[in-house]
Amino acid sequence: EVQLVQSGAEVKKPGESLKISCKASGYSFIDYWIGWVRQMPGKGLEWMGIIYPADSETRYSPSFQGQVTFSADKSINTAYLQWRSLKASDTAMYYCAVQRGDTGFDDFQFWGRGTLVTVSS
């Protein structure tokens, strides 16, 4: 059974850094692109980008390029989403999700439960 277990909710101040995680199990972690989706309060889904854990190749949405960093640790089957300096507008739920195939051009077949990030002074 595929599982994506995300780290717990975070409350941060503007300007602080943050790294949230997504631990995968039930499939070959290095063989499938894993991605991140943002959902701001009361809003729709936004595709942030994807990472291929085998070689850490990434594809960022221009809306998030330079604002966040994706990484992956193959040794512990975990993907990460990182901010260097948070803003209040980063307040949102962040989902990780794994693609169906290994081409990078696929839907998100399985999803984590999300990590709520709140940024407030």
Partner 1 sequence: AIRMTQSPSSLSASTGDRVTITCRASQGISSYLAWYQQKPGNAPKLLIYGASTLHSGVPSRFSGSGSGTDFTLTISSLQSEDFATYYCQQYYNYPFTFGPGTKVDI
Tell me how far apart the alpha carbons of residues 70 and 65 are, in angstroms, rounded to a whole number: 10
According to the binding rule CB under 8 A, does residue 19 interact with partner 1? no
Whole-angstrom CA distances from 52 to 28, 33, 49, 90, 101 are 12, 4, 11, 24, 11
Distance of CA 115 to the CA centre of its chain: 9
Between 8 and 75, whose beta carbon lies closer to partner 1?
8
Instruction: State which residue, 66 or 75, has the beta carbon closest to partner 1.
Output: 66
Region 20-59 residues binding partner 1, contact defined as CB under 8 A: 37, 44-47, 49, 59
Instruction: Name residues contacting partner 1, limited to 64-93 (CB under 8 A).
Output: none
**Segment contacting partner 1 by CB under 8 A, of 18-26, 68-76, 82-90, 98-106:** 98-106
Instruction: Report the length, in residues, of the chain.
Output: 121
